[in-house]
Amino acid sequence: MVTIADIADKLGISKGTVSKALSDAPDISETLRKTILETAVEMGYTKLRRKRNVSKKVCVLIYNMEYTSPGHFGYDIIMGFRQMAEPAGLTVDVIPITKSLQKTTPYDVFMLENDYIGSLVMGISLSEPWIADFKTSRTPAVLFDNYVMGNPSVASVAVDNDEGMELAVNHLKSLGHKKIGYLSGALGSHVFLVRHRAFFAALKANGLPTDPQLSGSSYYISECIQKHLPRLLERGATAIICSHDQLANAAMVQCQELGKKIPEDLSIIGFDDLPMSPYTAPPLTTIRQDRPQLGKCGYYALDSLLNGVPIGTILLHPQLILRSSCGERK
């Protein structure tokens, strides 16, 4: 069990200071207080003093997304969410949901039965039964990477994909690239659809030609690489942006198989900045969506809904992470 001494050790400060932060004492800086509370949540300290919201419970509903270990996409988002929610006095349960649960129990009923006042919903695709519920549900829900129109009880949280694609295209343009290709996961996914549109909008905003033949999308990475990559290379793409890092990694591997050097012959940019991305060959230049920060955005959105402020969308600023997979056009 984690103690105050453990937290003090980890941060290299006194137990008294940790204790002050946990008991919300006034004579400690706000920055230090935040760091201590976030570390306490991260280490699993369970005795956070809860002044308000006593006994109020929220849940993270998760479907089809890895979240159990550090480094998993969902893990970091949930950690960011908890780092805001728990010091604010909320209890956070993480619940993997199934299709059969969605079919048998409406969302509002599930929340009421289990005494949850709101949820962060992750990994649920547009075809899942609860997406239909979210059009009219009354219990606050924040959808990560998904969007439902016109329900004041539902908010969406995501990275700003438009801004991300513009950062990527701006960067390639500054390196002299004009023929920029795009490889994508299947457009049945909300996030891939949004990024696909954002890519073409960024080309237009940068005054670059848009050629539909310079893009391709498939459900499976291997299919995308086999079916579309050769066409992009034939049509003279000198740079390729990929909808997500795993696809970018596969594209780099395949291009190198075909005798192309990265970045000398071809520049590649990914999207997400997964933990693996600094360790691809070469290390991948990518657009980061900061996962703990996304979790915190999820908390801001849920807090607003719980306070009667019907925020519909929160978008996080992305960052361009420069590594070694992009070079000047020869």
Binding site for a second copy (CB under 8 A): 26, 30, 34, 51-53, 149-152, 160, 163, 166-167, 290, 293, 296-297, 300, 303-304, 307, 309-317, 319
Cβ atoms of 142 and 301 closer than 8 Å: yes
Question: CB count, 10 Å around CB of 240?
Answer: 30
Torsion from C-alpha of 85, 319, 220, 122, nearest 10 degrees: 10
Helix (H) or strand (E) holding 251: helix 245-257
State the minimum distance, in angstroms, from the CB of residue 329 to a second copy: 22
Q: For the CB of residue 42, give the shortest distance to a second copy in the complex, in Å.
A: 16
Measured from the CB atom, is 207 or 259 closer to a second copy?
A: 207
Smallest distance, a second copy to C-beta of residue 251, A: 25
- The residue (of 119 and 218) whose beta carbon lies closer to a second copy is 119
Burial grade of 183 (CB within 10 A; 0-12, 13-18, 19 or more): buried
Please tell me the distance from the alpha carbon of residue 267 to that of residue 287, in angstroms, as a whole number: 14
Give the nearer residue to a second copy in terms of CB position, either 30 or 257.
30
Closer residue to a second copy, CB minimum distance, 166 or 245: 166
DSSP per residue, 10-55: HHTS-HHHHHHHHTT-SSS-HHHHHHHHHHHHHHT-------SSTT
CB closer to a second copy out of 232 and 316: 316
Q: How far is the CB of 24 from a second copy (least distance, A)?
A: 8
State the minimum distance, in angstroms, from the CB of residue 273 to a second copy: 15
In the bound state with a second copy, the residue whose beta carbon lies nearer, of 19 and 170, is 170
What is the closest distance, in whole angstroms, from the C-beta atom of residue 228 to a second copy in the complex? 26
Pick the closer one to a second copy by CB: 125 or 153.
Answer: 153
Q: Tell me: cis bond preceding 282? Omega within 30 of 0 counts.
A: yes
Q: Cβ neighbours of residue 302 under 8 Å, at least 6 residues apart? A: 58, 85, 118, 119, 120, 140, 142, 155
By beta-carbon proximity to a second copy, the closer residue of 22 and 221 is 22
Minimum CB separation from a second copy for residue 248, in Å?
21
Q: Which amino acid is at 143?
A: L
Short-list 253, 319, 239, 321, CA closest to 285:
321
What is the smallest separation between the CB atom of 323 and a second copy, expressed in angstroms?
Answer: 19
Shortest CB 122 distance to a second copy, Å? 18
Residue pair 317/160 in contact (Cβ under 8 Å)? The answer is yes
Output 214 or 241, the one with its CB closest to a second copy.
Answer: 241
**Strand, coil or helix: what is 298?**
helix
User: What does the angle CA 120 – CA 161 – CA 77 come to, to the nearest 5 degrees?
Assistant: 30
| Cα-based angle 1, 56, 88 (whole degrees, multiple of 5) | 65
228 class by beta-carbon count within 10 Å (0-12 exposed, 13-18 middle, 19+ buried): buried
